[in-house]
Amino acid sequence: MKMRMVLCGGVAALGVCAGMVTASAVPGGAGTVPAGSARPAAGFDPAELEDALDDVHRAGVPGVFAEVRDDGRTWRGASGVADVTNGRPVTADMRHRVGSVTKTFTAAAVMQQVEQGRIRLDAPIGDYLPQLVPGERGRRITVRMLLNNTSGIPDYLTYAFPSLRGFPSRLDVSTRSLDDNRFRTFRPAELIEMGLSAPPVGEPGGPTGVYSNTNWLILGQLLEHVTGMPAERYITRNVIERAGLRHTGFPTGTRVKGPHSRLYEAFYGLIDPPRDYSVYDMSWVGPAAALVSTMEDLNRFYALLLDGRIVSRSSLAEMQRTVPTRALDGSLIQYGLGLHKVETPCGTFWGHDGTVWGAGTMSLTRADGKRQMSVAVNLIRWNRPDASGKPQPHPIDGALKALYQRATCGGASPAPEVAP
User: For 335-358, what is each residue's pLDDT tens digit?
Assistant: 999 999 999 999 999 999 999 999
- Range scoring the smallest mean pLDDT among 93-102, 281-290, 304-313, 321-330: 321-330
Is 233 exposed, middle or buried, given 0-12, 13-18 or 19+ CB atoms closer than 10 A? middle
Report the share of the chain in percent with pLDDT over 90: 81
The C-alpha angle with vertex 290 and arms to 275 and 319, in degrees rounded to 5, equals 130
pLDDT score, position 416: 38
* 269 three-state secondary structure: helix
User: Is residue 158 pLDDT above 50, yes or no?
Assistant: yes
Position 7 pLDDT exceeds 60: no
CA angle 168, 174, 178 (to 5 degrees): 110
What is the reported pLDDT for 40? 64
pLDDT over 80 at 17, yes or no: no
Q: Is the pLDDT of residue 55 over 80?
A: yes
Give the Cα separation of 107 and 356 in Å (integer). 19
Q: Are the CB atoms for 109 and 223 separated by under 8 Å?
A: yes
Residue 246 pLDDT? 97
Task: Please choose, from the candidates 359, 119, 100, 106, the residue with its C-alpha nearest in 3D space to the C-alpha of residue 232.
Answer: 106
What strands, in cross-sheet order, belong to the sheet with 73-80?
Answer: 73-80, 63-70, 371-377, 359-366, 347-356, 340-344, 332-335, 323-326, 209-210
Residue 89 in this model has a pLDDT that exceeds 50: yes
Angle between helix 213-227 and 188-197 (nearest 10): 130
Give the per-residue pLDDT at 39.
63
Split at pLDDT 50, 70, 90, the class of 417 is very low
Mean pLDDT of the residues in the chain: 89
User: What DSSP letter does each residue of 286-314 carry, written as one string?
Assistant: GGGT--EE-HHHHHHHHHHHHTTSSS-HH
Mean pLDDT calculated for residue range 355-365: 98
Greater pLDDT, 319 or 167: 319
pLDDT tier for residue 387 given thresholds of 50, 70 and 90: confident
Contact between 168 and 229 under an 8 Å Cβ cutoff? The reply is no
Mean pLDDT for 43-64 is: 96
Sign of CA dihedral 259, 261, 262, 267: negative
CA atoms in the 13 A half-sphere facing the CB of 310: 29
Does pLDDT of 2 surpass 60? no
Share of the chain above pLDDT 70, in %: 87
Q: DSSP per residue over 87-112, as a string?
A: -PBP-TT-BEE-GGGHHHHHHHHHHH
Q: What is the pLDDT of residue 328?
A: 74
Q: Decide: helix, strand or coil at residue 348.
A: strand
Q: Region 243-262: what's the mean pLDDT?
A: 97
> What is the pLDDT confidence band of residue 44, given thresholds at 50, 70 and 90?
confident
